[in-house]
Amino acid sequence: MKTRIDRREFIKFAGAAGAVAGITLSLPACAQTKNGGAAGAKVVVIGGGYGGTIAAKYIRMMDPSIDVTLVTGEKTFTSCPMSNWVLVNMHEFEWLTHSYDKLAANYGITVIPETATKIDPEGRKITLKSGNTLPYDRAILSPGIGFKWGAIEGYDEEAAELCPHAWQAGPQTKLLHQQLEAMPDGGKFIIVAPPDPFRCPPGPYERASLVAHYLKANKPKSKVIILDAKDKFSKQELFVSGWQKLYGYETDNSLIEWVAGSSDGKVVEVDPQRKIAVTEFDEHQADVLNVIPPQKAGAIAEATGLTDDTGWCPVDHKTWESKMQPNIHVVGDATIPGSLPKSGYAANSEAKVCAAAVVDLLNGREVGEPTWVNTCYSLLAPDYGISVAMVYRIDADGQLNSVEGAGGVSPKDGNSAAEAIYAESWYSNIVDDMFA
Ligand SMILES: Cc1cc2nc3c(=O)[nH]c(=O)nc-3n(C[C@H](O)[C@H](O)[C@H](O)COP(=O)(O)OP(=O)(O)OC[C@H]3O[C@@H](n4cnc5c(N)ncnc54)[C@H](O)[C@@H]3O)c2cc1C
């Protein structure tokens, strides 16, 4: 098992992984455990993805006297980041799957591959699918997203088996891949892009780009059409400029068509059997219909009363403790994260800040002043990448906000081949941070 690291070392660790830039130290007592100190305190983390693994691992690295259990739902984790690459045969599916074995072996985390079905905030107790219960002093949830089934008429869980969303990686990714492979040349691959806020703002446009790349090589008479609920999207200028260079965008032979919400792009109904997407004034016949529906926090957050009427979890950004229930922290896509996007990198950054705060609270220390960082890479083709990077802090009005001048998007005529290499390296580093 790894040895304890102190706070100075932790900040170095977090900085190396590009997440927490600064935490100030001060020490008035406000012990929160039932036993009055951190030794033997119990933290249960629900969700073994981009946020949950990091929260569990960094608590153990900062204070191994804390007992950490990670409830993962599954035996292995399947990553959404890079699932668009797998969709178009750039890598095998196995590249997305990761084992929790090293978290148990190297960090002494108890990993339980079960689903948490209920949380009792008063009794500080979590019930698992098996009926077993886990007591906690503090719980951390990173359950990811749920879908607003029925928000698009005709689109429910059953419809997703015909018209996959592939917005949670796994069988849905495989299904969409099979459909793309089976699509005839001359076919239409329609992506229904969701309204804000949603998981991975550039994701649908990266998917459109890579599918266009696949079609160009394999089925050149085909087309990708994005029917969008919105009028603008993340890194739009860079996507458009890349699409012009690579896919004849805005010409008669364009491989990609994007229909904005105000140009009748918003899909209100689908017929999953016939693969038809219906907008206010039109009907679009697809060969492959990829519906990414409107989203909300993962089910366990909603069931525990951690969400507000937006469907997402309001939290205190200094600690990521829920504003709805005490002693429960929420990180990742399920939260209302201020100006941070719903990304894997942001979930990593939030989880580190949350881990540090939980360790402080359990040790009776005041929590520090955090900063966060996020970088999102997108591929437009295997050798053409773009990115956006930003640093965040709590501003003078107490809001989690981007730091002016601290980041930005990659230059329009930048080194897109190098960005593609950085993207792959980003994935390798972040999964090491989570699972190694
Ligand atoms: C196509 C696509 C591409 C993306 N690309 C990128 C990218 O390049 N870079 C980037 O930063 N982000 C990217 N993202 C976004 C990224 O996937 C999410 O932001 C990130 O996964 C959020 O982390 P999380 O911990 O909130 O949720 P997740 O990583 O989804 O983890 C949640 C985990 O909790 C588990 N769980 C849920 N409920 C329970 C329960 N009750 N009991 C036990 N376990 C439970 C789930 O099964 C899941 O394993 C992409 C997303 C998509 C869809």
Residue 35: both structure tokens together = 């036993």
Task: Write the residue with the smallest CA distance to atom 16 of ligand 1.
Answer: 344
Ligand 1 atom closest to the Cα of residue 331 is 26
Using one digit for the tens of pLDDT, what is the confidence trace for 3-49?
445 544 444 444 333 434 333 232 322 334 444 568 899 999 999 99
Give the whole-angstrom CA distance, residue 186 versus residue 189.
10
State the pLDDT at residue 38.
Answer: 86
Domain count, the chain: 2
Q: Identify whether 78 is part of a domain.
A: yes
E strand spans, 303-363: 315-316, 321-322, 328-330
Q: Identify whether 423 is part of a domain.
A: no
Q: Identify whether 126 is part of a domain.
A: yes
Choose which residue among 205, 343, 376, 429 to substitute to test ligand 1 binding: the one with the highest number of ligand atoms within 8 A of its C-beta: 343
State the pLDDT at residue 356.
Answer: 98
Q: Identify whether 306 is part of a domain.
A: yes
Q: Identify whether 36 is part of a domain.
A: yes
- The structure's pTM equals 0.93
User: Are residue 98 and residue 216 in the same domain, yes or no?
Assistant: no
The secondary structure element, H or E, covering residue 236 is: helix 236-247
Ligand 1 atom closest to the Cα of residue 167 is 53
Does residue 197 have a cis peptide bond before it, meaning omega lies within 30 degrees of 0? Answer: yes
Using one digit for the tens of pLDDT, what is the confidence trace for 202-245?
999 999 999 999 999 999 999 999 999 999 999 999 999 999 99
Single out the residue in 274, 293, 312 at which a domain terminates: 293
User: Are residue 216 and residue 258 in the same domain, yes or no?
Assistant: yes
CATH number of the domain to which 288 belongs: 3.50.50.60
Query: If we measure between CA atoms, which residue out of 184, 211, 201 comes closest to residue 285?
Result: 184
In the reported structure, the alpha carbon of residue 286 is separated from the centroid of ligand 1 by a whole-number distance in angstroms of 28
Q: How many CB atoms lie within 10 A of CB 222?
A: 22
User: Are residue 223 and residue 322 in the same domain, yes or no?
Assistant: no
State the pLDDT at residue 16.
Answer: 36
In the reported structure, the alpha carbon of residue 303 is separated from the centroid of ligand 1 by a whole-number distance in angstroms of 19
Instruction: Spell out which residues line ligand 1, taking CB within 6 angstroms.
Output: 46-52, 71-74, 77, 80-81, 83-84, 115-116, 142-144, 167, 199-200, 203, 298, 300, 332-334, 342-345, 347, 376-377
Q: Identify whether 183 is part of a domain.
A: yes
- Residue span of the structural domain in which 283 resides: 149-293
Q: Identify whether 424 is part of a domain.
A: no
User: Are residue 42 and residue 88 in the same domain, yes or no?
Assistant: yes
Q: How many CB atoms lie within 10 A of CB 251?
A: 9
Task: Write the residue with the smallest CA distance to atom 29 of ligand 1.
Answer: 49
What angle separates helix 7-16 from helix 52-62, to the nearest 10 degrees? 150
In the reported structure, the alpha carbon of residue 165 is separated from the centroid of ligand 1 by a whole-number distance in angstroms of 14
Task: Write the residue with the smallest CA distance to atom 17 of ligand 1.
Answer: 80
State the pLDDT at residue 37.
Answer: 67
User: Are residue 27 and residue 103 in the same domain, yes or no?
Assistant: yes
Single out the residue in 293, 313, 332 at which a domain terminates: 293
In the reported structure, the alpha carbon of residue 98 is separated from the centroid of ligand 1 by a whole-number distance in angstroms of 13
User: Are residue 73 and residue 203 in the same domain, yes or no?
Assistant: no
- The DSSP result for 356-389, as a single string, is HHHHHHHTT-B----EEEEEEEEEEETTEEEEEE
Helix (H, G, I), strand (E, B) or coil at 77: strand
State the pLDDT at residue 21.
Answer: 33
> Where does residue 84 rank: exposed (0-12), middle (13-18), buried (19+ CB within 10 A)?
buried
Residue 216: both structure tokens together = 């160009």
User: Are residue 225 and residue 187 in the same domain, yes or no?
Assistant: yes
User: Are residue 135 and residue 170 in the same domain, yes or no?
Assistant: no
In the reported structure, the alpha carbon of residue 227 is separated from the centroid of ligand 1 by a whole-number distance in angstroms of 24
Single out the residue in 315, 343, 372 at which a domain terminates: 372
Q: Identify whether 31 is part of a domain.
A: yes
Choose which residue among 69, 147, 199, 354 to substitute to test ligand 1 binding: the one with the highest number of ligand atoms within 8 A of its C-beta: 199
Give the whole-angstrom CA distance, residue 118 versus residue 20.
31
User: Are residue 264 and residue 316 in the same domain, yes or no?
Assistant: no
CB 207 within 8 A of CB 165: no
State the pLDDT at residue 27.
Answer: 30
User: Are residue 27 and residue 46 in the same domain, yes or no?
Assistant: yes
User: Are residue 52 and residue 15 in the same domain, yes or no?
Assistant: yes
pLDDT, averaged in runs of 10, over the chain (436 residues): 45 39 31 61 98 98 98 98 98 98 98 98 98 98 98 98 98 98 98 98 98 98 98 97 98 97 98 98 98 98 98 98 98 98 98 98 96 98 97 97 94 94 98 98
User: Are residue 154 and residue 244 in the same domain, yes or no?
Assistant: yes
In the reported structure, the alpha carbon of residue 391 is separated from the centroid of ligand 1 by a whole-number distance in angstroms of 21
Residue 354: both structure tokens together = 């949350």
